[in-house]
Structure 1
Amino acid sequence: MSQHDLPYRDAAAVMLLNAENKVFVALRIDNKADAWQMPQGGLDDGEDPQAGMLRELEEETGIRPDLVELIAPARRVMFYDLPADLVGKVWKGKYRGQRQHWFLARFLGTDADVNLDTAEPEFRGWRWAEPAELPRLIVPFKRRLYEDVLEEFAEYL
């Protein structure tokens, strides 16, 4: 079976803005490089994408749903493909990439509300980044996706 025969993994993701319109990004724990990303993760079967986004955000960052105000959902679902050398290593080789439901949200808490020391830590560091920095912070295979997300939410940034 080739990579292109595999399905996409359903996922939800969030561009979380602070009061200064900077974006929450975090360093993956499983990547030694400076691979920053916005919070995102797979949806459970039948899970509502917005509920999944809030669940993933809390699981990854400790940020509670009551500290998040939804600004806008993306008008379309966005995709990315894994590089060929990662297809067999990520998600037990079952998926070619992700089909992501993106949301733009406002963080209502303080930096003290962020806690990466979660039950199953995924990140080793975090910071607030300028939106324009995002494409160069992300791993190259997700760069086009992040450019699309920036374009999608440009009117709010």
Structure 2
Amino acid sequence: MSHNGILNYVPHQCPKREGSGKRSRRDDLQNHYHVKKQVEIEGAISEWTSQHLAEEVIDMMNRAGVLVGQVVTVKEVVENEQVQAWDAVQEVPVQGSNGDSWNIKMQGMFPLIDGVDSKPMWSGPNLGFHTDEVLRNNLGLSVDVVPKLRADGIVG
């Protein structure tokens, strides 16, 4: 679950708020309870977390043994020193259909094994590579309809 896009947490592990008079959720570990009480649980946690900085919430939850982590952007993941140390995001070349090329960032392979190159070998097919196949085989469009869709700018 997420609190205002800042934290992820495991709700059944959230500690009882001292002095709140609210019972602990630790006794209700079955998922069906959480589904039934999701709005109540998220409301209580949002109320509590909104009174603290994200760093304070993470520290308090860690001390209480709750699984929690701050939500980060893709940019923050790519720039993270641990991600970089593990070479977890790597530059992979892409060849365009018109001969141009560029690099994209892709996740490296895990686990890392000595002597095995963990770099992705291929970035995948170009955008739109399977469009005709999907339109014809999966959607049942006829051979003459697809070029018209392309000419009308409906598909690329």
TM-score range, shorter chain: under 0.3
Structure with bigger RCO (C-alpha 8 Å, 6+ apart) = 1
TM-score, normalised with respect to structure 1: 0.24
Normalized per residue, the structure richer in helix is 2
TM-score, normalised with respect to structure 2: 0.24
Normalized per residue, the structure richer in strand is 1
Q: Which structure would you say has the larger Rg?
A: 2
